[in-house]
Chain A
């Protein structure tokens, strides 16, 4: 069934659609620079740096231990996992769960995050709703159910209007998310205007709580290292090497690099 197509005034396109795009984009850029200004330095403690490196070393031992002699591997494994004084057995770190109440810097960080991101979105969304109200802005290319009408068609009191026709507020929200790739093009990766990334971080931040897990990380490494065996990669190296002649191609080239350039 062919739907009656609405023809929108092209003025809408000129004076509504494009300005909203510009406004969203500029606000995003401003947000990015403001977030840089307000950024607080994250100071890592010596202990955190040291611990992360120890974990890396243990992992390397597990993965590449086969390149060192058996004795050396066992010596290091003993150092880490020994029952009485192994590093992973003995080192307990003081664990402070980073909840907003105990850690004042986290609190200010959260507040700054809210101020720079959520607040402008609400303010500008409301302003656009108020300014560009009373008419339909654009049509989304897929059909929507009637439930979406009150949400996307604020200010347009038409019961029979297809829910695909949306108001300017929803066009604004579409832009906020859509311009993300534009931001990464212009501001580079990791920019402060990236709304959805920040919201993702807020959601996964609760699951990630990183310093609290040093003890758990140590325990996990201990287990993994216990299970690792030493398979010396150099067992039959001579046979492998001498099975064929050395490849001496290109070893003696006539041209030597002269000078700097």
Chain B
């Protein structure tokens, strides 16, 4: 089997820089990391110098994702040898136990980290993920709430909590979490869009109006968010079709819906000018839009 460097004709420096880029951007492309990282570790360990330790950590987490226990074990051994007694390494050992589904041992590991350092957020979050992995979502939600009471600024945790609430169909609380995220990241169109979707799912005239507004905000932040565009169309047409609204509101919403339809059509026209397949999808979109308007 050809190695990564042979397949793509890259040097080890480029591989190392690619790994660093993935690390900084927080990518979770575990298979690619394992491929590139494994070769880097096996062939070029001596040339990497001190970079190798963080690469070990990155590759180990990716290996756990890909179920490569052998590789994860090797990385962990090297890290343990270099940094005995480090809490970061202990957390990695705990993660490996989690991957092997030895949740009791993993919990003990994290508890020992927390004994030494009660402010260690990583260990607390891993314990919550264990609860999630075991399917105990009510407990996971409770623990996560407690965690967030102390560490109000942890955005990843807020997002995780919103996901857990959505799974439990508790849309009001999920909306609360997303609001926190929207406040801390006002320019992130994805949070606006998710919030709008939650509001749309909650239903009811007020929530539909809110969702329409937030779909519009998502579009304003990123003109190319197709999902928000469709969401805008759907929320506007639902409001227009609702029996409780007065004439002005209905007119306004019909206007919004029509505008959205035009934009969708434009986007589909742009999508594949001239290709035969695209003609079919443009037609399909048009029919779909008409059918929604009818009902």
Contact = CB atoms under 8 A, between A and B. Distances in A.
Given A238-B256, A246-B266, A261-B8, A252 B216 contact: no
Contacts of B8: 259-261
Interface stretch (B41-49, B148-156, B282-290): B148-156
B224 A248 contact: yes
A57 B152 contact: yes
A21 to B, nearest CB: 31
Contact of B151 (A53, A240, A246): A53
A50 B10 CA distance: 46
B108 interface: no
Interface size range on A against B: 20 to 34
B251 interface: no
25 contacts: A46-B150, A49-B119, A50-B151, A53-B150, A56-B152, A57-B152, A57-B153, A67-B217, A69-B210, A237-B220, A238-B256, A241-B216, A241-B220, A246-B224, A246-B267, A247-B223, A248-B223, A248-B266, A248-B270, A251-B267, A252-B270, A252-B271, A260-B36, A261-B8, A261-B10
Interface of A: 44-46, 49-50, 53-54, 56-57, 60-61, 64-65, 67-69, 72, 234, 237-238, 240-242, 245-248, 251-252, 259-261
Given A69-B210, A260-B32, 7 more contacts: A53-B150, A237-B213, A241-B216, A248-B266, A251-B270, A259-B7, A259-B8
| Closest 3 pairs between A and B when the two form their complex, measured CB to CB | A53-B153, A64-B183, A261-B8
Interface in B248-295: 252, 255-256, 259, 263, 266-267, 270-272
B204 interface: no
Interface in B1-26: 4, 7-8, 10, 14, 18
B77 interface: no
Interface of B: 4, 7-8, 10, 14, 18, 32, 35-36, 118-119, 149-153, 175-176, 179-180, 182-184, 186, 210, 212-214, 216-217, 219-220, 223-224, 229, 252, 255-256, 259, 263, 266-267, 270-272
A67 B216 CA distance: 13
A251 B224 contact: yes
B219 A44 contact: no
A60 B183 contact: yes
Given A252-B272, A260-B4, A64 B186 contact: yes
A237 B216 CA distance: 7
A60 B183 CA distance: 7
Nearest to A260: B32
Main secondary structure of the interface of A (DSSP, over half): helix
Contacts of B219: 241, 246
Contacts of B176: 72
B186 A50 contact: no
Contacts of B256: 238, 242
A245 B263 contact: yes
A155 B19 CA distance: 62
Contacts of A247: 223-224
Nearest to B178: A68
Nearest to B117: A43
A261 B266 contact: no
A67 B151 CA distance: 22
Contacts of A46: 118-119, 150
B16 to A, nearest CB: 12
Contacts of B272: 252
